[in-house]
Structure 1
């Protein structure tokens, strides 16, 4: 059976400052809430000499949105809050409520891990209130964080963070405090990423600009790693433990490859998939264990199907879909847990949406923005400035083999809501991905690009 894969843009938002991280709240009651973080480097006057030039000022802004994806004629996102902060390098929601409230963790350029609790106003909208802050040490940037709660376990909630000095910090969350349990030098250069094993939260993985992937057992102390892998050939900048399949780990690097691992054997990966861009973030699907979202810096966003690799067949993970409508570095991406109806494409009277496939380099697509600020519709043009209608087929870059199973165990189709952001053009996109059995068509009808 053939499968049809389609992405459609729902909304584009100008974050004004460079956008680098987006996160949907994982708690069911608040799955309509989306956070976006930005990072902007403000350099001093170029006329100043090196001696009297102040240190670069890194500023940020935290956005909060609420989403109603079922509306057809208005953008699904509504901004409910924005607050200026130090530059934000990573955001992660705790997967379980803390004191009955959702909590968002933030890694900042001021070297702090900041926690915010989500509150509801009398008007019914949501807002974030600062709860706790913990400094990681002087003269360092907090680069990433992860919660130990990836499988929904609420006992012994902890945070792990990595920073620009190459260090990792494990922190324990108390009733009114976030305390460093241990901190250690893990990498020779920037430690880009740190992540828990969600199946054994005493295990921490880290990746750094020294091209090394390492494992740590907090029970043994951080004096030496449990393993060191040099399988990546450039800096390791993304790691995510699969919350649905024990031992499965995904890693990404500036070397433009996604590696899948079995944590019981870190000498050799299960698979290696070239994605054509540095892999800044990886996210496993909230419920479908084989689907992996990759933010690939210079080469857009891709959804990988990892079933064969996870079964030990030593095969690259095929790309099921690509979202190519960002014009800058693809940094932040996340799956939403909001349910979507498996609806058909919009009717002709509805605002035009965007349907794209992989294109040849000679047919590069760009977005034409209709409004300079906030939320607006988009149209799609080719390099000659010609509008490409929604139903138009686009040239395919490569064919993707059919997966060996349907996208969902108990259904014949899958629809997902996504958010992604790109850096220098300071844009956040909300889009949907539909994966369904391909409709049988008459021989005279063209087959739409997927």
Structure 2
């Protein structure tokens, strides 16, 4: 059966400062709550030797469906903070309330509780904070609660000194359990295995993907992979399929892994841009959202690769309306039950990198302004080392496992881009061609 895919922008919001992370709340009844973090590098006065300052802002929004003429996103709160590098909601309630984690350029981990207010809305209130390390930037965080069934609440952080730390949360306070030097350069990302929360992954600018057994001394990793050819900056454990892990890198590759065999990935997909974030769909096990820096946002269908056929995962949808670095992206659990719009799709497929014409220069700017690398080939067209161009025509995609009572899929997503400081809320509709014809 052929499937029709279309994306549609619902609202665009100017965050004023450079936007780099977005997260929908995973807990009911707060699925309509969205957090967005920003990061602004301010050049210091006093010459080139003066240290720059980094400022940020934390936004809180609510998604409301009040009518076709009303913007669906309502701003509930904005908090001026240190520059924000990553946001993650805890997947289980803490003291009966949602909890948001934030890591900042000051090297601190902050926790905020989502509370109801007198106006009938909600707002974030500071619970606690902890310094991850002095004179470093805290770059990423992840909760151990990804399968939404954990009573042992821990949070892991990575930082610009190459360190990874694990912290416990008890009675509203954070306590350091362990911290160690994990990578030679920036440790861009860390993530728990959601099926074995004693296993922690990390990726760094030393091009290494590592696994750590938290029951053992962190002096040596459980494994080290050098399969990525550039810095590893995104990792996400699949909450639906045990042992499955997705990783992304500045080398523009998405790799899928079986955690029982880290010698060779199950699949490799060239997505045409440094992969800053990866997010598995909250309920559909084969759908993977990728924020691809210089090549927009894409949804990959990973069933064939995970079932052993190998090769690249086909891209089933793309959102290309951002005009700057694609950094933050997340799926919402809000149900979109109305049918797909009959208007033309908002986006058209982009020409692949290998088929574009003219001089193409790609710069990989670090979000922490710690490096700036230009990459191009002799012909003036950039093709990642040891990888082929993304396929122009995706391979046939198997129908998603939606069940007999769900003939189509409609999803709400949010994404943000850096230098144009924009937050987009958009929907993706995936329907069988027959359903489209019958509706007409």
Same fold (TM over 0.5): yes
Q: Give the structure 2 partner of residue 32 of structure 1.
A: 32
Residue 154 of structure 1 and its aligned partner are, at CA, apart by 3.1
Find out whether 1:401 has 2:399 as its counterpart: no
Q: In structure 2, how many angstroms separate the alpha carbons of the residues matched to 1:441 and 1:111?
A: 51
Q: Give the structure 1 partner of residue 181 of structure 2.
A: 185
Measured at CA, do residues 400 and 50 of structure 1 come closer, stay the same or move farther in structure 2, by a change above 3 Å? closer
Q: Give the structure 2 partner of residue 387 of structure 1.
A: none
Measured at CA, do residues 432 and 222 of structure 1 come closer, stay the same or move farther in structure 2, by a change above 3 Å? same
Instruction: Give the TM-score of the pair, scaled to structure 1.
Output: 0.86
Aligned residues: 400
Secondary structure of 2:305's match?
A: helix
Measured at CA, do residues 112 and 440 of structure 1 come closer, stay the same or move farther in structure 2, by a change above 3 Å? closer
Residue 403 of structure 1 and its aligned partner are, at CA, apart by 2.0
Q: Give the structure 2 partner of residue 135 of structure 1.
A: 131
Equivalence map 1:81-92=2 (5 Å): 81-92=77-88
**Contact preservation (8 Å) 1:342, 1:413:** no
Q: Give the structure 2 partner of residue 424 of structure 1.
A: 419
Q: Give the structure 2 partner of residue 357 of structure 1.
A: 348
Equivalence map 1:47-446=2 (5 Å): 48-50=46-48, 53=50, 55-69=51-65, 71-345=67-341, 355-360=346-351, 398-406=392-400, 408-410=402-404, 411-439=406-434
Residue 123 of structure 1 and its aligned partner are, at CA, apart by 1.3
Residue 440 of structure 1 and its aligned partner are, at CA, apart by 8.2
Q: In structure 2, how many angstroms separate the alpha carbons of the residues matched to 1:70 and 1:357?
A: 29
Q: Alpha-carbon deviations, 1:135-167, whole Å to 9, x = none?
A: 011110000000000001231100000000000
Q: In structure 1, how many angstroms separate the alpha carbons of the residues matched to 2:294 and 2:145?
A: 31
Q: Alpha-carbon deviations, 1:209-256, whole Å to 9, x = none?
A: 000000000001211000000000000000000000000000000000
Q: Give the structure 1 partner of residue 370 of structure 2.
A: none
Following TM superposition, the consecutive aligned residue runs of length 4 or more in structure 1 with deviations greater than 6 angstroms are: none
Q: In structure 2, how many angstroms separate the alpha carbons of the residues matched to 1:176 and 1:440?
A: 50
Secondary structure of 2:125's match?
A: strand
Residue 399 of structure 1 and its aligned partner are, at CA, apart by 2.6
Q: Alpha-carbon deviations, 1:38-81, whole Å to 9, x = none?
A: 00000013xx3345x2x211000000000014631111100000
Secondary structure of 1:189's match?
A: coil
Structure 1: runs of 5+ lacking an equivalent: 348-352, 364-396, 443-450
Residue 356 of structure 1 and its aligned partner are, at CA, apart by 1.3
Instruction: Give the TM-score of the pair, scaled to structure 2.
Output: 0.88
Secondary structure of 1:310's match?
A: helix
Q: In structure 1, how many angstroms separate the alpha carbons of the residues matched to 2:253 and 2:395?
A: 19
Secondary structure of 2:56's match?
A: strand
Structure 2: runs of 5+ lacking an equivalent: 358-390
Residue 357 of structure 1 and its aligned partner are, at CA, apart by 2.2
Secondary structure of 1:311's match?
A: helix
Structure 1, 92-101 or 409-418: larger mean CA deviation: 409-418
Q: In structure 1, how many angstroms separate the alpha carbons of the residues matched to 2:83 and 2:436?
A: 51
Q: In structure 2, how many angstroms separate the alpha carbons of the residues matched to 1:179 and 1:50?
A: 38
What is the root-mean-square deviation in Å for CA atoms of aligned residues?
Answer: 1.7
**Contact preservation (8 Å) 1:6, 1:357:** no
